[in-house]
Amino acid sequence: MTDHLPTPPHFSLQPVLEDERVQLIPLKENDFEQLYAVASDPAIWQQHPNKNRYQREVFNTFFEGALQSGGAFLVADKTYGRLAGSTRFYNYDAVENSIFIGYTFYATAYWGTGLNTRVKRLMLDYIFRFAGAVYFHIGAENYRSQKAIEKLGAVKLREEWVAYHGEPDRLNFVYRILNEASK
């Protein structure tokens, strides 16, 4: 995945987004330690394309890519006042009027709680004010994320090898959700 935005968007890639349960906060350089505290659990990465991101050096590369993307967030659980994980917008394409959402991970305590659906809904509701399509790269072995994104109405389009920032290429499926207003 290219982490850079080829064209500067005409909107913010890091707005503060929230509902009554979750808040997406723009990622900053000084967030490394608190985010790594969540990411250091190997169970989080079992189905992800790069399974060793729980290792500090590997996660540091991931974190650098998140900062460079210009669209990364901390995901905060407002109910319990804890950090739940991270996600990001990336690869905005002005010509196609599209963007990707991904690089998402959550502490295992949040799996199956509906938090991911809330986060994706906040992101989609926001970005569909500016984009006609949202794409997702989902690891070929990440069955949990494939099911989750399909529940949101995403359609699998194709398979492709993705180059991650500073990590090996991995096979991913590309999913898409179209903006209802642009159909």
pLDDT value, residue 168: 66
What's the CA gap between 30 and 153, in Å, rounded? 35
Domain ranges of the chain: 17-182
pLDDT value, residue 2: 46
What's the CA gap between 183 and 175, in Å, rounded? 17
Give the chain's residues under pLDDT 50: 1-2, 4-6
Place of tokens 């064209």: 7
Classify domain 17-182 by CATH architecture.
3-Layer(aba) Sandwich (3.40)
pLDDT value, residue 5: 47
Please report which residue ranges of the chain form alpha helices under DSSP H: 32-39, 56-69, 115-127, 143-151
